[in-house]
Structure formats: structure tokens, C-alpha cells
Chain A
Amino acid sequence: AQSVTQPDIHITVSEGASLELRCNYSYGATPYLFWYVQSPGQGLQLLLKYFSGDTLVQGIKGFEAEFKRSQSSFNLRKPSVHWSDAAEYFCAVGAWNSGYALNFGKGTSLLVTP
């Protein structure tokens, strides 16, 4: 069965510290991978995406993610977190055989402390 797992429900980091949010997937077809961010009461904003090619992708707001096929992972990273990064982060996977409809992980809530 197709699934997306974000193992960490909540993460707390200090401002200026590095961040890594984990995402693992199980998909039969070649997946298309996304990270979205949601601020309270807002919609979802795309941070970055991976379709093919270079497995390290750069996104907006200083985020990057690395696709590791052998580990079925697509972890999101940021070298130095800002207080404004506090939000809910969702990993999502799509595939051609499902019309590219997205299957979302449960999300990771990021808290940034001073």
C-alpha cells in the first residue's frame, strides 16, 4: 500500500540551529516528492519538489531536501532556523498512476525557541 510517514509529530529547535524533518514513503510507482509548509489558519505553500535528476533540491526560504531512493526518504533540511519558520510541515508524494493526486504525511509541527 502507498504511504507517507513523517515520524516526528513535533520538533523544537532553537533559533539559529539546524533543522532536519524526516519523511519516508512507500510507493510502487516512481514517486514525485514535495514538501509543503502551512502556517496557522493558512493554506499550503510549496517549499520544494523532486521529480528527477539531482537528488539534492533547493527550495524557497533556504530549505533543501535530499532524495535517497535506497532509504525511501526525502528529508527536509535548513542550516539555520528563523523564528518565522515555526509552522506545520507536510511531506507529500504523487505518482503518475494516481493522476498525481497527493498523498500527504501527517505533518510535523515545528516550534522555534529564542
Chain B
Amino acid sequence: DARVTQTPRHKVTEMGQEVTMRCQPILGHNTVFWYRQTMMQGLELLAYFRNRAPLDDSGMPKDRFSAEMPDATLATLKIQPSEPRDSAVYFCASGPDTGGETQYFGPGTRLLVL
């Protein structure tokens, strides 16, 4: 049963520290999405990739967030420096690039910045 995996599942850090979240998309999927979930804003798109190329990262705070796909099996989301307002659950999702197909979500990384 293929699944999207995310690490770590939980992260507690102090303000100003760097945070790196990792995602392994489902093998064969070539679109990867990062979403953030907060109580106030709900689920928001941060960035997405197709064939490892970033297509849209307009949802990310550019000064502190960065998203990359070093290879087809790994997507990373980094926050440097982290701030308390970054506390949220970060979801990675992947999908096949066949046009509007379903996105499969990982379990999320729950981040708390103190």
C-alpha cells in the first residue's frame, strides 16, 4: 500500500532555529504539494512541484521558507529562522501528473515553535 511519508512527525523548537521537514512522495508520482494547516487559516497551499521543478511557491513567506526537491524521492521544506507563528501542521501530498488526479496526503509534521 503506497503512502506518502513525512518526517519528523512532531517537532518542537525554539524561535530562531532552523527547521527541516522531509517528504517522500509515492513512487512514480511527479507532482508534490506542500500545505499548511492552522486553526485560523485552515489548509493553505505553500508550494508545489512538477517533475522536481517548482511551479508555484507564492504561498510561502519568501524570506524564511524554502522548498526543494533534491531528487524524485525527496521533497524538503525548510524554515530559517523559525517563528512562533509558523506553528502548524505541515502536509505533503503527491499525485500523478495525468490531469486533475487525486492528491495523496502524508500524515503531516506537527511543528511547535516556542
Q: Point out residues on A near B: beta carbons under 8 Å.
A: 32, 34, 36, 42-46, 49, 51, 90, 92, 94, 96, 98-107
Contacts and interface: CB of A to CB of B under 8 A. Distances in A.
A34 B48 CA distance: 18
Contacts of B43: 90, 92, 102, 104, 107
Contacts of A45: 105
Most buried by A among B42, B50, B103: B103
A101 B91 contact: no
Contacts of B55: 99
B31 A43 contact: no
A34 B104 CA distance: 12
Contact of B50 (A36, A94, A99): A99
Contacts of B45: 101-103
Interface stretch (B60-68, B69-77, B79-87, B94-102): B94-102
Contact of B42 (A98, A99, A107): A107
A46 B48 CA distance: 19
Contacts of B107: 42-43
